[in-house]
Structures are given as structure tokens and as C-alpha cells.
Amino acid sequence: MGRDSRQKAAQVFLDAWRDAAVIEALPDECRPSDAREGFAIQSEFVRLTGQKVAGWKIAATSVAGQRHLDVSGPLAGRLLAGRMIEPGALVPIARNRMRVVEPEFVFTMARDLPPRRRSYSTAEVMDAVAALGPGLEIPDSRYAEFVGIGEELLLADNACACWFKPGPPAPAEWRDLDLAAHRVQLIRNGEPAGTGLGANVLGDPRAALTWLVNDLGRFGEYLRGGQIVTTGTCAVPLPLEDGLEVTADFGPIGKLSARFEE
């Protein structure tokens, strides 16, 4: 895929993103044929937005999520600075079609982890982490139908990244926690609405972060100090509606709430 094709595909996504519109499909002449081409379109799309990359999201880190999207493994997407929800701000959902919110473990990086030939170990990755905290992702897609379209097209669509609300960092003692066994309580309008588990995220949020570091390397990309990584939903996503308030209680890691409006 040449540069002109990448730019054309990225412009299609940018137009849909700005207009809160959807597309049926990419034109044949700029449709990616594999993950590398899909990721290249994603990179071009982000460049065209002119926004800073605040961090990365991992989609489909649970078996249920992979089955829902009909993919064989996780997918990486970029979190744009202009799509980060500030404390106290309402989350707009009027044009959101997925209409779900997902509780996620969020790492903040202390330093860069540049690509290299040898894969990074989990210990090496965790040594480069500055903090852990809770987060809420509100994904969406620019495709009219996003289920079953394939890994390369989902990567081109920035892995369905849309809005994201990060929470405060946890006390340093989080490093002693068993994140795989860590439970998260979901509260919907003041009532219990389900639980999440760290093991739902590729077996452990630390494993998901390590996967991302090594997966980005195959595309020549890498995590940078100061960026955040949200590791995928640890619970069944909650449906959204106007006026809804959702709280994700991560226990000693912290608590995070968001209110949604049409």
C-alpha cells in the first residue's frame, strides 16, 4: 500500500470522525490487506488529526471480546489527547453507536521502551511503569458494521478508540497486589451492576501491557515516557443511556465515576 492510498483511507476516517458519521466500507483502492497496512492507516489518521497521542488502548483482551469482534487476538489503538475526559466533565454519547462503558486497568509509563529484536519481559516492562490507576473507556467505531470485518480494518479504525476517562494514580503499594485476582465492582446509578477481574485481561493486566510493548515493536512503534496504556475491559461492558452515572471501584487501586449525556 502506497502513501497516497494510506492518506486516502485516513481521510475517510477523519471525515467520518469529525462529522460523527459512519462508513459502509473503505474504497477498494485503499483497503488494507493485512495488519501492517491497517496499522499504517491508523498512524496516518492520527497524524491528520493533529492531536497529541496521550497513550494507547488495547482492544479485545478478553476471550469474550475477541469472539464478539471475531478476531484471534488483541488490537492496539491510540488514545488522542482531545478525547480524554477531564474530572467532572460529562461524557457525550449522542452520536456514539456502541454505547457501552468499560472499566480498565491503566498504566502510566515512566520511560520509553523502544523497539528491539529481543522481546521485552514482563519484569522489564513493569520496571518502566510509573503508576497504575483505574480508567473508563467509551469505545466507538466509524464502520456501520464493525463485527467480523477483520483485524486489519479494525486497526485502521484506530481499534475503535473514542472517549477515555483516566482516574488518579494508586498508592505505590499496588505493586504488591495480585492484579490477576484483583476484583472490580461496577455501580450503575448507585446500584451494583457487576464485577470485573484482572484475569479477564489476557490473564493479567501486566501481561496485556507486555503484549502491547512487543506488538508495537513489530510495526516500528513504541511506548514513550508519560504515555498511558489502558489494558482492555476487565468486566462485561455496561450499556449507556442519557443521565447514567457509572462508578468503577478498584478497591485499593482507586475509584472512578463518570456521567453520560445525550
To the nearest 10 degrees (0 to 180), the angle between helices 35-49 and 3-19 is 60
Where b means 16+ CB within 10 Å and e means fewer, 170-181 reads: beeebeebebbe
**Using one digit for the tens of pLDDT, what is the confidence trace for 141-152?**
999 998 888 899
**Using one digit for the tens of pLDDT, what is the confidence trace for 222-256?**
999 999 999 999 999 999 999 999 999 999 999 99
Amino acid identity, position 104: E
State how far Cα 124 lies from the chain centre: 22
Closest CA to 224 of 102, 55, 99, 58: 55
Q: What share of the chain is helix, strand, coil (3-state, %, to 5)?
A: 35, 30, 35
Residue 169 grid coordinates: 494514580
- CATH, range 52-261: 3.90.850.10
In the chain, domain spans: 52-261
**Using one digit for the tens of pLDDT, what is the confidence trace for 50-84?**
999 999 999 999 888 888 888 889 999 999 999 99
Where are the strands (E) in the chain, listed by range?
53-59, 75-80, 91-92, 100-109, 129-138, 163-166, 183-188, 191-197, 228-233, 238-239, 245-249, 255-261
Residue 97 grid coordinates: 453507536
- pTM over 0.85, yes/no: yes
